[in-house]
Amino acid sequence: MLLRISLIVAIIAGLAAGGLAYMEVSDKIPTLTKQRDDEHTAKVTALGDLAKTRTELKKTQGDLAQTQQDLADTKSERDKATARAEAQSKRADELSDKLAKAVSERDDAQNQLAAYKATDLTPDQVIKLNKNLKDAQIQIEAITAEKHVIERNLASIKARLLKYEGDENDRYVKLKADLKGKIVEVDPKWDFVVLDIGDEQGAVQDGEMLVSRDGKLVAKVIICRVEKDTCIANIVPGWKLGDPIEGDVVSPAHPAPAS
């Protein structure tokens, strides 16, 4: 009998211990579950951040490569512009020497003709002197015209070269302060206009001009192609306050200082 009682007591004690253990584990299960979920969420977030960082790193590397290529292209363009400027300067110096020589020859011919007219020259001699004088005059005019072209080209190259080598105030191509023109054609689809000014008037590639109508600003354009008496200019994004039309007036956005 005593044995049965002992067994019953032992069973009851075991059940009580098991119940207590179950209650303790039951209390910890929600905490453990939340801890597991929090750790999973943190892991997913960390993996997402890692993927985003890798994507941003790849984009940054691509931007860096493009920037390096743009820098190389800019240096190449600067070197080409410098070479062209030096060549144009040399040609201008050569033309100045030729012009001075031609003027000297013309003056000599005029002096000789005046002196010979006072002498007993034959008609053939006088004709020859007149021909020499006319030839010298033609040569002077041709050299002068070519020199003017060279000077305009040199001014254009120097203006563009300042974009690469000048300070912040020289980042824009300077145009003649008195350069004025009008729009003669508009392409609204591609946002460009044709102006009635060109190389002869002083238009320079990359020069910026303000478009106005009745004294009010309409847009700003940048010259992209220059011909003899006309040029093509693109409308600058963000500066289109209205629709440019034929007859609108254009003037330099960055006029050169008076020399």
Q: What is the pLDDT of residues 185-223, one digit of tens each?
A: 999 989 999 999 998 898 988 899 999 999 999 999 999
Exposure class string for 206-238: b at 16+ Cβ within 10 A, else e:
ebbbbbeeeeeebbbbbbeebeeebbbbebbee
- Dihedral Cα 184, 186, 191, 197, nearest 10 deg: -10
At 128 the pLDDT is: 74
Whole-number pLDDT of residue 10: 65
**Which listed CATH number (3.40.50.1100, 2.40.10.340, 1.10.260.40, 1.10.3210.10) goes with 172-251?**
2.40.10.340
Phi/psi for 194 (5° steps) reads: -110, 130
Contact 249, 211 (CB under 8 A): yes
What is the pTM for the complete model shown? Answer: 0.43
Mean pLDDT across 172-179: 86
Measure the CA–CA gap between 236 and 19, rounded to whole angstroms: 82
- In the chain, where do the E strands start and end? 181-187, 192-195, 208-213, 216-226, 231-235, 249-252
The 3-class secondary structure across 157-211, one letter per residue, is: HHHHHHHHHCCHHHCCECECCCCCEEEEEEECCCCEEEECCCCCCCCCCCEEEEE
- What is the total residue count of the chain? 259
Q: For the segment 220-247, what is each residue's pLDDT rounded down to a tens digit?
A: 999 999 998 999 999 998 899 999 999 9
Of 116-120, 143-147, 165-169, which one has max mean pLDDT? 143-147
Strands (E) located in 6-102:
none
Residue type, 146: E
Query: What's the mean pLDDT in 53-66?
Result: 80
Under DSSP, is residue 2 helix (H, G, I), strand (E, B) or coil? helix
198 phi and psi angles, rounded to 5 deg: -145, -155
Percent over 90 (pLDDT), the chain: 23
What are the tens digits of pLDDT across the range 86-106? Answer: 888 788 788 888 888 888 888
Whether residue 242 contacts residue 191, with contact meaning beta carbons closer than 8 Å, is answered with no
Q: Is 254 exposed, middle or buried (0-12, 13-18, 19+ CB in 10 A)?
A: middle
CA separation for the pair 15, 253 (Å, rounded): 96
Write down the pLDDT at residue 95.
Answer: 82
3-state helix, strand, coil in the chain (%, to 5): 65, 15, 20
Please answer whether residues 177 and 209 qualify as being in contact, where contact means their C-beta atoms are separated by less than 8 angstroms.
no
* Average pLDDT in the chain: 78
pLDDT at 78: 78
